[in-house]
């Protein structure tokens, strides 16, 4: 019963993360796209935790949720927040 519940949670997290990826792709506001990507990365980190890979989770959180959005926000300040149509 517990394994089936974990697999259902993994499936739901995967579907929600795909939704956030799609939102990040279609967003014209680059700051919103970065936030959608950070949410997707957080969901992937939780997914990796459920798959019992805690060492990968620690590295993934530091890079994908912390460092990558920070660098992207600094770059957005240089080039502008909104994508040209």
Mean pLDDT on 7-28:
95
Roughly what angle, to the nearest 10 degrees, separates helices 68-79 and 30-50? 170
Q: Does the residue 74 lie in any domain?
A: yes
Residue 84 forms part of a structural domain: no
Distance, C-alpha 61 to centroid of its chain: 10
* Domain count along the chain: 1
Q: What is the pLDDT of residue 83?
A: 74
Has this prediction a pTM greater than 0.75? Answer: yes
Q: Reply yes or no on whether the pLDDT at 20 is more than 90.
A: yes
Residues 6+ apart with CB under 8 A from 25: 33
In a domain, 85, yes or no: no
Report pLDDT for 17. 96
Q: What is the pLDDT of residues 22-80, one digit of tens each?
A: 999 999 999 999 999 999 999 999 999 999 998 999 999 999 888 999 999 999 999 88
Vertex 11 angle, CA 65 and 30, to 5° = 35
**Residues spanned by the domain of 17:** 2-79
- The answer to the question of residue 39 being in a domain is yes
């Amino acid at each position: 019963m517990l394994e089936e519940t974990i697999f259902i949670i993994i499936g739901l997290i995967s579907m929600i993360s795909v939704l956030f990826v799609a939102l990040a792709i279609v967003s014209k506001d680059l700051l919103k796209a970065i936030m959608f990507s950070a949410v997707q990365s957080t969901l992937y980190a939780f997914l990796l935790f459920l798959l019992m890979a805690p060492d990968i989770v620690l590295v993934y959180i530091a890079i994908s949720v912390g460092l990558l959005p920070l660098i992207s926000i600094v770059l957005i300040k240089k080039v502008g927040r909104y994508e040209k149509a």
